[in-house]
Structure formats: structure tokens, C-alpha cells
Amino acid sequence: MKGFVFAAAAMTSTPAIAQDAAPLHLDLVCDGGTVTEVVASSTTANVNSAYGRTTGTSETIEPRYVAFSIRVKIEGEAGQVNLPAFALPGLSSAKDGWLRIKNLRVTEDHITGKIPFNFLSNSSFQIDRRAGTISSSGGFSGNCRPDAGERKF
């Protein structure tokens, strides 16, 4: 019975928002990044020996920090996240880079939710509303600020 209750609760997508709060309207820009593995170097060697010519290639994979920004929009009980194209998997449910937030929960101190990229992968996130920080299970972390909507130039 406990498993059924948990499954039923997990399937609901209505966000939990404080009852006395006015509808929430947030537009945030979160600057940060993640560590990813990249091919740092590739070496090819040609060796002539008594047994003939041999060719070999080796690649060095190193962790690299990749900086980028994401946007988080919350309108009432719905939320969405905008990620740059390179941060999305090849098969994604994004519409113009925007992904719907599931299991959105907003409290005085935190905003949490789950971002389903496709039917196979998703990432959970948490925004600390007091510190302005964001972290995700996918490795992204950074600092959020309200998007004033003003152009820089």
C-alpha cells in the first residue's frame, strides 16, 4: 500500500505552493556551469619495425568546467527551464530550448522540481531563495538573479 501511495504522489504534477501566497511570477537567470569530460588530446604513432608498420592512436579525456546560463520561469503553478542547445540530450522534449518543470514545489526558502529531458533522462534541481544558488542532480550549479528583461545594448 505504501508503494501505491508513493507512486500516486509521484505522478501528480500540481506544484505545492503556500496557500496564503499570491500567484508567483519569477523570471530568473542562473549563471553557472558543470564539469564534463572532453577529449583533450589525441596522439597517433606510426612505427616501422621488423614486423611491419604499426599505427596506434590514443586519446586523453579530461574533466573541463563548462560555463553557461539557464533561465527559470515560474508563472503561478507552472514552471519551465530554458537550457542552451549543447546542454540538451540529442533526443529532447524541449520546445525552443524550454522544458516543463514537473513536481514543482515552492516554499519560502526553496524552489524544487524535476526537469524531464526525454522519456529516459531527467534532472532534479533546487534553488535556495535566500542564497540565490541553484544546484541540480545533473551537475549544474550556479547563482540566480531576477531577469529584469532589460537589454544590455
pLDDT in tens, 123-140: 999 999 999 999 999 899
- The pTM assigned to this predicted structure is 0.72
User: What is the average per-residue pLDDT within 105-119?
Assistant: 93
Q: What is the rounded average pLDDT for all residues in the chain?
A: 81
**Cβ-based burial of 68 (10 A; exposed 0-12, middle 13-18, buried ≥19):** middle
The four Cα atoms 134, 25, 148, 117 give a dihedral, to 10 degrees, of: 50
- Report the Cα 117 to chain-centroid distance in Å: 9
Q: Please name which of 122, 97, 124 lies closest in space to residue 113, comparing C-alpha atoms.
A: 124
Predicted local confidence at residue 45, as pLDDT:
66
Helix (H, G, I), strand (E, B) or coil at 51: coil
